[in-house]
Amino acid sequence: MPRVPVKLVSWDEIVEWSWGLAKKIMESGYKPDAIVAVARGGYVPARLLCDFLDINDLLSIQSQHWVEAAKAAERAILKYPYKVDMKGKRLLIVDDIVDTGETLLLARDYIKKAWEPDEVRIAVLQWISPVAKFKPDYYHIEVKDWTWFQYPWTRLEDTQQFIQRILREDERFKGKKEIARSDLENAFEEWYGIRPEELGWYWEEALRRVSGKTNVKIV
Ligand code: AMP
Protein backbone atom coordinates (compact mmCIF):
# COMPACT_ATOMS: atom_id res chain seq x y z
CA MET A 1 0.00 0.00 0.00
CA PRO A 2 1.40 3.43 -0.93
CA ARG A 3 1.59 6.07 1.82
CA VAL A 4 -0.60 8.36 -0.25
CA PRO A 5 -3.09 6.58 -2.52
CA VAL A 6 -3.07 8.35 -5.89
CA LYS A 7 -5.22 7.81 -8.95
CA LEU A 8 -3.52 9.08 -12.10
CA VAL A 9 -6.37 10.47 -14.19
CA SER A 10 -6.16 10.64 -18.00
CA TRP A 11 -7.69 13.29 -20.28
CA ASP A 12 -9.96 10.61 -21.75
CA GLU A 13 -11.33 9.83 -18.29
CA ILE A 14 -12.04 13.54 -17.76
CA VAL A 15 -14.16 13.67 -20.92
CA GLU A 16 -15.93 10.42 -20.03
CA TRP A 17 -16.64 11.52 -16.44
CA SER A 18 -17.81 14.99 -17.50
CA TRP A 19 -20.18 13.42 -20.02
CA GLY A 20 -21.50 11.11 -17.28
CA LEU A 21 -22.06 14.15 -15.08
CA ALA A 22 -23.79 16.05 -17.91
CA LYS A 23 -26.20 13.14 -18.44
CA LYS A 24 -27.18 13.17 -14.74
CA ILE A 25 -27.85 16.91 -14.89
CA MET A 26 -29.96 16.55 -18.06
CA GLU A 27 -31.91 13.62 -16.59
CA SER A 28 -32.74 15.71 -13.51
CA GLY A 29 -34.37 18.36 -15.69
CA TYR A 30 -32.24 21.19 -14.24
CA LYS A 31 -31.48 23.81 -16.88
CA PRO A 32 -28.86 26.25 -15.63
CA ASP A 33 -28.58 29.70 -17.23
CA ALA A 34 -24.90 29.90 -16.40
CA ILE A 35 -22.04 27.82 -15.04
CA VAL A 36 -19.64 29.03 -12.35
CA ALA A 37 -16.27 27.29 -12.45
CA VAL A 38 -14.47 27.14 -9.14
CA ALA A 39 -10.85 28.01 -9.84
CA ARG A 40 -8.71 26.31 -10.43
CA GLY A 41 -9.89 22.67 -10.33
CA GLY A 42 -13.31 23.30 -11.82
CA TYR A 43 -12.17 24.94 -15.08
CA VAL A 44 -11.88 21.94 -17.37
CA PRO A 45 -15.04 20.10 -16.23
CA ALA A 46 -16.95 23.42 -16.28
CA ARG A 47 -15.90 24.13 -19.86
CA LEU A 48 -16.83 20.62 -20.93
CA LEU A 49 -20.22 20.94 -19.22
CA CYS A 50 -20.86 24.18 -21.15
CA ASP A 51 -20.33 22.17 -24.32
CA PHE A 52 -22.32 19.11 -23.22
CA LEU A 53 -25.26 21.11 -21.82
CA ASP A 54 -25.34 23.86 -24.50
CA ILE A 55 -24.54 26.64 -22.04
CA ASN A 56 -23.00 29.88 -23.20
CA ASP A 57 -22.40 31.77 -19.97
CA LEU A 58 -19.36 30.75 -17.93
CA LEU A 59 -18.09 32.66 -14.91
CA SER A 60 -15.46 31.82 -12.36
CA ILE A 61 -14.60 32.35 -8.74
CA GLN A 62 -11.43 31.31 -6.93
CA SER A 63 -11.83 29.46 -3.68
CA GLN A 64 -8.75 27.79 -2.32
CA HIS A 65 -8.24 25.18 0.33
CA TRP A 66 -5.50 22.71 -0.59
CA VAL A 67 -2.27 24.68 -0.84
CA GLU A 68 -0.17 21.63 -1.67
CA ALA A 69 -1.05 18.34 -3.40
CA ALA A 70 -2.59 15.94 -0.86
CA LYS A 71 -2.13 18.43 2.04
CA ALA A 72 -5.06 20.55 3.22
CA ALA A 73 -4.69 24.03 4.68
CA GLU A 74 -6.50 25.08 7.85
CA ARG A 75 -9.42 26.66 6.06
CA ALA A 76 -10.60 27.69 2.61
CA ILE A 77 -10.32 31.31 1.46
CA LEU A 78 -12.11 33.16 -1.30
CA LYS A 79 -9.62 34.99 -3.47
CA TYR A 80 -10.81 38.07 -5.38
CA PRO A 81 -14.52 38.05 -4.36
CA TYR A 82 -16.66 40.17 -6.71
CA LYS A 83 -20.32 41.00 -7.15
CA VAL A 84 -22.49 40.36 -10.16
CA ASP A 85 -26.27 40.51 -10.44
CA MET A 86 -27.69 37.01 -10.95
CA LYS A 87 -31.27 37.73 -9.91
CA GLY A 88 -33.70 35.56 -11.86
CA LYS A 89 -30.98 33.09 -12.91
CA ARG A 90 -30.29 29.43 -12.17
CA LEU A 91 -26.60 28.64 -11.61
CA LEU A 92 -24.54 25.47 -11.68
CA ILE A 93 -21.33 25.65 -9.65
CA VAL A 94 -18.73 23.20 -10.95
CA ASP A 95 -15.56 21.85 -9.35
CA ASP A 96 -13.41 18.76 -9.81
CA ILE A 97 -13.97 17.13 -6.42
CA VAL A 98 -15.70 17.49 -3.06
CA ASP A 99 -13.14 16.30 -0.52
CA THR A 100 -13.75 18.11 2.76
CA GLY A 101 -16.22 20.30 0.86
CA GLU A 102 -14.90 23.52 2.45
CA THR A 103 -13.99 25.11 -0.88
CA LEU A 104 -17.41 24.64 -2.41
CA LEU A 105 -19.38 25.55 0.70
CA LEU A 106 -17.52 28.83 0.89
CA ALA A 107 -18.05 29.57 -2.81
CA ARG A 108 -21.72 28.57 -2.72
CA ASP A 109 -22.55 30.63 0.38
CA TYR A 110 -20.83 33.69 -1.06
CA ILE A 111 -22.52 33.35 -4.46
CA LYS A 112 -25.98 32.92 -2.90
CA LYS A 113 -25.57 35.98 -0.74
CA ALA A 114 -23.66 38.34 -3.03
CA TRP A 115 -25.01 37.37 -6.46
CA GLU A 116 -28.61 36.57 -5.40
CA PRO A 117 -29.42 33.92 -8.04
CA ASP A 118 -32.84 32.18 -8.04
CA GLU A 119 -31.25 28.78 -7.62
CA VAL A 120 -27.80 27.27 -7.15
CA ARG A 121 -26.79 23.63 -7.61
CA ILE A 122 -23.39 21.98 -7.37
CA ALA A 123 -21.81 19.45 -9.76
CA VAL A 124 -18.47 17.65 -9.35
CA LEU A 125 -16.65 14.72 -10.90
CA GLN A 126 -15.84 13.08 -7.55
CA TRP A 127 -17.44 13.12 -4.13
CA ILE A 128 -15.43 11.64 -1.23
CA SER A 129 -18.47 10.67 0.80
CA PRO A 130 -16.89 9.59 4.13
CA VAL A 131 -15.09 12.93 4.70
CA ALA A 132 -17.22 15.47 2.82
CA LYS A 133 -19.23 18.01 4.82
CA PHE A 134 -22.06 17.86 2.27
CA LYS A 135 -23.38 15.84 -0.65
CA PRO A 136 -23.23 17.66 -3.99
CA ASP A 137 -26.42 17.78 -6.10
CA TYR A 138 -24.59 16.00 -8.93
CA TYR A 139 -21.44 13.84 -8.91
CA HIS A 140 -20.12 11.24 -11.31
CA ILE A 141 -18.21 9.00 -8.87
CA GLU A 142 -18.69 8.44 -5.16
CA VAL A 143 -15.27 7.70 -3.62
CA LYS A 144 -15.40 5.56 -0.48
CA ASP A 145 -11.65 5.28 0.26
CA TRP A 146 -9.80 8.57 0.32
CA THR A 147 -7.61 8.99 -2.76
CA TRP A 148 -5.69 11.90 -4.29
CA PHE A 149 -6.98 12.32 -7.84
CA GLN A 150 -4.03 13.42 -9.90
CA TYR A 151 -5.95 15.34 -12.57
CA PRO A 152 -4.11 15.98 -15.85
CA TRP A 153 -4.31 19.79 -15.56
CA THR A 154 -2.17 19.79 -12.42
CA ARG A 155 0.33 17.06 -13.26
CA LEU A 156 3.52 19.12 -13.25
CA GLU A 157 2.56 20.95 -10.08
CA ASP A 158 1.52 17.78 -8.22
CA THR A 159 4.58 15.82 -9.34
CA GLN A 160 6.91 18.53 -8.06
CA GLN A 161 5.06 18.70 -4.76
CA PHE A 162 5.08 14.92 -4.40
CA ILE A 163 8.86 14.87 -4.90
CA GLN A 164 9.38 17.78 -2.50
CA ARG A 165 7.36 16.01 0.15
CA ILE A 166 9.58 12.93 -0.13
CA LEU A 167 12.70 15.10 0.20
CA ARG A 168 11.22 16.81 3.27
CA GLU A 169 9.68 13.88 5.09
CA ASP A 170 11.44 10.67 4.06
CA GLU A 171 14.26 9.86 6.55
CA ARG A 172 16.39 8.40 3.72
CA PHE A 173 16.62 11.76 1.93
CA LYS A 174 16.25 14.43 4.60
CA GLY A 175 19.06 17.01 4.45
CA LYS A 176 20.90 15.23 1.59
CA LYS A 177 22.58 17.39 -1.05
CA GLU A 178 22.91 14.59 -3.59
CA ILE A 179 20.41 11.83 -4.29
CA ALA A 180 20.54 8.88 -6.69
CA ARG A 181 17.79 9.15 -9.24
CA SER A 182 16.93 5.45 -8.96
CA ASP A 183 16.49 5.74 -5.16
CA LEU A 184 14.13 8.66 -5.64
CA GLU A 185 12.18 6.80 -8.31
CA ASN A 186 11.75 3.77 -6.05
CA ALA A 187 10.70 6.01 -3.15
CA PHE A 188 8.18 7.79 -5.40
CA GLU A 189 6.54 4.48 -6.23
CA GLU A 190 6.49 3.46 -2.56
CA TRP A 191 4.91 6.76 -1.52
CA TYR A 192 2.35 7.24 -4.27
CA GLY A 193 1.93 3.89 -6.03
CA ILE A 194 2.85 5.44 -9.39
CA ARG A 195 5.87 4.50 -11.45
CA PRO A 196 7.69 7.63 -12.70
CA GLU A 197 7.63 6.23 -16.27
CA GLU A 198 3.84 6.62 -16.21
CA LEU A 199 4.36 10.37 -15.93
CA GLY A 200 6.46 10.62 -19.10
CA TRP A 201 8.01 14.04 -19.73
CA TYR A 202 6.32 15.48 -16.64
CA TRP A 203 8.67 13.42 -14.46
CA GLU A 204 11.80 14.80 -16.15
CA GLU A 205 10.58 18.38 -15.99
CA ALA A 206 9.47 18.04 -12.35
CA LEU A 207 12.89 16.64 -11.37
CA ARG A 208 14.64 19.52 -13.15
CA ARG A 209 12.48 22.13 -11.40
CA VAL A 210 12.69 20.55 -7.95
CA SER A 211 16.46 20.31 -8.07
CA GLY A 212 16.61 23.98 -9.12
CA LYS A 213 14.32 25.04 -6.27
CA THR A 214 15.88 22.92 -3.53
CA ASN A 215 19.56 22.74 -4.55
CA VAL A 216 19.41 18.95 -4.26
CA LYS A 217 21.45 17.28 -7.00
CA ILE A 218 19.69 14.29 -8.52
CA VAL A 219 22.34 12.06 -10.14
P1 AMP B 1 -12.04 20.55 -0.46
O2 AMP B 1 -12.23 21.96 0.00
O3 AMP B 1 -11.36 19.72 0.61
O4 AMP B 1 -13.34 19.89 -0.86
O5 AMP B 1 -11.06 20.52 -1.71
C6 AMP B 1 -10.73 21.67 -2.42
C7 AMP B 1 -10.00 21.49 -3.72
O8 AMP B 1 -8.73 20.87 -3.49
C9 AMP B 1 -10.68 20.59 -4.74
O10 AMP B 1 -11.54 21.34 -5.55
C11 AMP B 1 -9.49 20.08 -5.55
O12 AMP B 1 -9.06 21.00 -6.53
C13 AMP B 1 -8.42 19.92 -4.49
N14 AMP B 1 -8.51 18.57 -3.87
C15 AMP B 1 -8.93 18.32 -2.61
N16 AMP B 1 -8.91 17.01 -2.35
C17 AMP B 1 -8.50 16.40 -3.49
C18 AMP B 1 -8.28 15.04 -3.86
N19 AMP B 1 -8.52 14.05 -3.00
N20 AMP B 1 -7.83 14.79 -5.10
C21 AMP B 1 -7.58 15.81 -5.96
N22 AMP B 1 -7.76 17.10 -5.69
C23 AMP B 1 -8.22 17.41 -4.46
pLDDT band at 216 (very low <50, low <70, confident <90, very high): confident
Atom of ligand 1 nearest to the CA of 132: 4
Residue 72 pLDDT exceeds 70 = no
pLDDT at 105: 95
In angstroms, the CA 149 to CA 97 distance is 9
Residue 22 pLDDT exceeds 80 = yes
Higher pLDDT, 9 or 75: 9
Q: Which residue ranges have their beta carbon within 6 Å of ligand 1?
A: 41, 65-66, 72, 76, 95-103, 148-149
Atom of ligand 1 nearest to the CA of 150: 21
Picking from 8-12, 75-79, 133-137, which range would have the lowest pLDDT averaged per residue? Answer: 75-79
pLDDT band at 101 (very low <50, low <70, confident <90, very high): very high
pLDDT at 64: 82
CA 98 to ligand 1 centroid distance, Å:
6
Query: Which residue, judged by its Cα, is nearest atom 13 of ligand 1?
Result: 66
Average pLDDT over every residue of 28-50: 98
CA distances from 102 to 93, 128, 134, 147, 157 (A): 14, 12, 9, 17, 22
| Cβ neighbours, 10 Å, residue 78 | 17
pLDDT at 70: 64
At 145-193, the pLDDT tens digits run 999 999 999 999 999 999 999 999 999 999 899 999 999 999 999 999 9
